[in-house]
């Protein structure tokens, strides 16, 4: 089903930017208008512009969880009991692991368990932050609002993750395709051309001799190249899950100029958005910081937030702890300082998160715009070398033939 990006004004008068799936452009417009949105801009997304979700072993993605929260609050608003809500969601949920968790939750609710308590039995499905938000909603009697806030959080997390995934997956796919094309050309195509020149015992240009040598090596050892690439890919994945690997890749993502901008901005967006949500739920600053650290992906930002938690417990203000961490840009701790001085930290964090959400999208576009010409330039050089290795001997043969005549 096609995806469409849109910019619209919601019922609260707030400008919002998101994506949705619909059978056609008219259907997308009708869906938005039916929910009270005033459309400012809407367009169909291309293949490379669509959100990229990479589910691992069937676990629900941020998109799945946003839909779960949206459906839960919609049904709950109609006055349906929680047990019946779960029964309805079980029939609608496509993700098998999430559906299984919902069935278990329904059984727990019917036995008298709280919704948050039943969620905590499935830590791989429901995050600690979601469980705490639902617990706060049950205690305050405003469960619907907790789900609404979590829907908004998952939607924004989905967009941030999709932007980062888009920036990383696109060049990786191109590189894999380039490697496959390189192997096929070196093993199958080029030898058929160069064998003719070799049989003629003619003097060949150096570029042709070099390509022939590389081609002969590939013909003999192509399987070794495949094994090495597979070992590097699997080994890199396993290494990235170790503590040392997290620090190595985390350091690289903060030092490589092209990636640094995206890493810092996405981490700042996650920190500010998550902390604002947790503070709004009534949690203390120290408890909120603990949950924020769990949601940080880059190990250096995670450790910095954990250090901030320790400093806050010792009496440091949040802005000073963030400044001392050395990983957050000045804009974050300066705006946090303003929020602490005015007594409206949550609102300031929300505005900062919205700013960095937009910056992540801009950084993604910049990253893609830088990567595309670099990859195309590499391809152009590769093709030029191949063309020269084939046509220079042919040109020499033509000149020799003309001189003979």
pLDDT in tens, 173-216: 777 777 777 777 777 777 776 666 666 666 777 887 787 787 77
Token output for 112:
């008298």
More confident residue, 381 or 55: 381
For residue 241, pLDDT over 90 is answered with no
- Give per-residue pLDDT as tens, 305-324: 999 999 998 989 999 999 99
379-362-340 Cα angle (round to 5): 145
For residue 231, pLDDT over 90 is answered with yes
Distance CA 344, CA 330 (A): 19
Determine what percent of the chain is predicted with pLDDT higher than 70.
Answer: 86
Answer for the pair 68, 115: CB distance below 8 angstroms, yes or no: no
More confident residue, 85 or 43: 85
Token output for 84:
């019946």
Task: Provide CATH code, domain 62-158.
Answer: 1.20.81.30
For residue 346, pLDDT over 80 is answered with yes
39 forms bridges with which residues in the sheet?
Answer: 8
User: According to the model, what pLDDT value does residue 320 have?
Assistant: 92
Distance CA 129, CA 127 (A): 5
More confident residue, 80 or 201: 80
User: According to the model, what pLDDT value does residue 10 have?
Assistant: 72
What is the SS3 assignment for 15?
strand
- Lowest mean pLDDT across 17-21, 316-320, 322-326, 388-392: 17-21
Q: pLDDT band at residue 57, thresholds of 50, 70 and 90?
A: very low
Distance CA 391, CA 291 (A): 63
Burial degree of 86 (CB within 10 A; 0-12, 13-18, 19+): buried
User: According to the model, what pLDDT value does residue 48 have?
Assistant: 43
Determine what percent of the chain is predicted with pLDDT higher than 90.
Answer: 9
Residue 126 is classified by DSSP as: S
What strands lie across the sheet with 38-44, from one edge to the other?
Answer: 15-21, 3-9, 38-44
State the average pLDDT over residues 384-390: 79
Distance CA 260, CA 277 (A): 26
For residue 53, pLDDT over 50 is answered with no
User: According to the model, what pLDDT value does residue 158 have?
Assistant: 76
For residue 160, pLDDT over 80 is answered with no
State the average pLDDT over residues 324-351: 90
9 forms bridges with which residues in the sheet?
Answer: 15, 38
336-338-344 Cα angle (round to 5): 80
Distance CA 153, CA 145 (A): 12
- Per the listing, tokens 């589910």 go with 55
User: According to the model, what pLDDT value does residue 163 have?
Assistant: 67
For residue 266, pLDDT over 70 is answered with yes
Tell me which CATH homologous superfamily contains domain 164-405: Type II secretion system (T2SS), domain F (1.20.81.30)
Phi, psi of 4 (to 5 degrees): -130, 135
User: According to the model, what pLDDT value does residue 129 have?
Assistant: 82
- Lowest mean pLDDT across 132-141, 187-196, 359-368: 187-196
Between the alpha carbon of residue 106 and those of residues 59, 269, 355, the distances in Å are 19, 34, 39
For residue 396, pLDDT over 80 is answered with no
Judge whether 62-158 and 164-405 match in fold. yes
377-378-380 Cα angle (round to 5): 65
More confident residue, 133 or 51: 133
User: According to the model, what pLDDT value does residue 202 have?
Assistant: 66
User: According to the model, what pLDDT value does residue 59 have?
Assistant: 76
What is the SS3 assignment for 172?
helix
State the average pLDDT over residues 43-50: 58
Most confident of 53-62, 341-350, 393-402: 341-350
Answer for the pair 5, 45: CB distance below 8 angstroms, yes or no: yes
Q: What is the pTM of this model?
A: 0.66
Each domain of the chain, given as residue ranges in start order, spans 3-44, 62-158, 164-405
Answer for the pair 378, 178: CB distance below 8 angstroms, yes or no: yes
Q: For residue 288, count other CB atoms closer than 10 A to its CB.
A: 23
Name the average pLDDT for the chain. 80
Answer for the pair 68, 98: CB distance below 8 angstroms, yes or no: yes
User: According to the model, what pLDDT value does residue 311 have?
Assistant: 92
């Amino acid at each position: 089903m096609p995806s469409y990006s849109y910019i619209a004004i919601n019922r609260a008068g707030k400008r919002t930017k998101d994506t949705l799936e619909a059978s056609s452009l008219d259907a997308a417009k009708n869906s938005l208008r039916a929910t009270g949105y005033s459309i400012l801009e809407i367009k169909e997304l291309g293949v490379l512009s669509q959100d990229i979700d990479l589910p691992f072993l069937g676990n629900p993605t941020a998109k799945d969880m946003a839909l779960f929260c949206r459906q839960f609050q919609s049904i709950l608003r109609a006055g349906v009991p929680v047990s019946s809500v779960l029964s309805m969601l079980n029939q609608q949920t496509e993700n098998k692991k999430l559906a299984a968790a919902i069935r278990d939750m329904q059984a727990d609710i019917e036995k008298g368990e709280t919704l948050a308590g039943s969620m905590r039995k499935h830590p791989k499905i429901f995050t600690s932050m979601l469980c705490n938000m639902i617990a706060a909603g049950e205690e305050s009697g405003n469960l619907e609002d907790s789900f609404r806030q979590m829907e908004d959080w998952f939607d924004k997390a989905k967009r941030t993750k999709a932007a980062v995934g888009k920036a990383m997956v696109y060049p990786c796919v191109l590189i894999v395709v380039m490697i496959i094309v390189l192997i096929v050309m070196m093993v199958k195509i080029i030898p058929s051309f160069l064998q003719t020149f070799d049989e003629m015992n003619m003097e060949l240009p150096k570029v042709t001799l070099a390509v022939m040598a590389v081609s002969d090596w590939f013909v003999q050892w192509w399987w070794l190249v495949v094994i090495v690439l597979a070992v590097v890919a699997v080994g890199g994945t396993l290494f990235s899950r170790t503590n040392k690997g997290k620090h190595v890749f985390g350091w690289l993502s903060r030092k490589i100029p092209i990636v640094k901008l995206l890493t810092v901005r996405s981490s700042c967006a996650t920190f500010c958005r998550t902390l604002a949500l947790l503070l709004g739920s009534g949690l203390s600053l120290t408890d909120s910081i603990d949950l924020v650290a769990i949601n940080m992906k880059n190990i250096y930002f995670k450790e910095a937030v954990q250090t901030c938690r320790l400093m806050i417990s010792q009496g440091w203000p949040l802005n000073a702890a963030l400044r001392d961490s050395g990983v957050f840009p000045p804009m974050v701790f300066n705006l946090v300082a303003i929020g602490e001085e005015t007594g409206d930290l949550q609102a300031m964090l929300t505005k900062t998160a919205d700013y960095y959400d937009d910056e992540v999208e801009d950084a993604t576009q910049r990253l893609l715009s830088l990567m595309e010409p670099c990859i195309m330039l590499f391809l152009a050089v590769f093709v030029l070398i191949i063309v020269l290795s084939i046509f220079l001997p042919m040109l020499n043969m033509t000149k020799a033939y003309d001189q003979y005549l």
